[in-house]
Amino acid sequence: MSSDDVMGVLTRHIEAAFQQPLDDLRQVAAAAGRVHPATGILHWYGLTAEAQTVVDRAENTLLATIGPAPGELTPPQMAIAHQVNTAVAARDGRAMVLRHLLDPNARQVWRGDRPQSRTISQASTALPPRPPANASRSTGR
């Protein structure tokens, strides 16, 4: 998948979620500051775009070292291929976080909200009561 494809799909998802073009959303979010709901999403979009740039550079380096007639990779070429794989994994991980943040049905734990079931009102620090001293003795002896 090319960088235009990956970033294009993510851009369309963001624009659909906020019902406005990405450039307009960036301006509105920048003006509103951290309180705007798109702030975190735009942050992860930026991280994903940076990772895509690394993917593009690594792929171009690999293609330049392979040349026009690909064959079995040499150890240096294999090292560059591993760099491409690592860059793709980083990009995909960031894209997955972004997709999660855009999912209205996703649990909100990542956004800082705590589900009520996980909230503890007050933890007790007292020890449990000890059983009476004669509770373990048999009464029939």
Which tens digit of pLDDT belongs to each residue from 106-135? 765 545 554 444 444 555 555 666 666 665
Report in angstroms the alpha-carbon separations of 138 from 43, 125, 132, 134, 141: 68, 33, 13, 8, 6
Task: Check residue 95 and report its DSSP letter.
Answer: H
CA distance 70 to 67: 6
Name the residue ranges covered by the structural domains of the chain.
3-111
What tens digit of pLDDT does each residue of 95-105 get? 999 999 998 88
* CA–CA separation, 41 and 55 (whole Å): 21
Residue 131 or 137, more confident? 131
HEC string for 5-22? HHHHHHHHHHHHHHCCCH
Position 105 scores a pLDDT of 81
**pLDDT value for 137:** 56
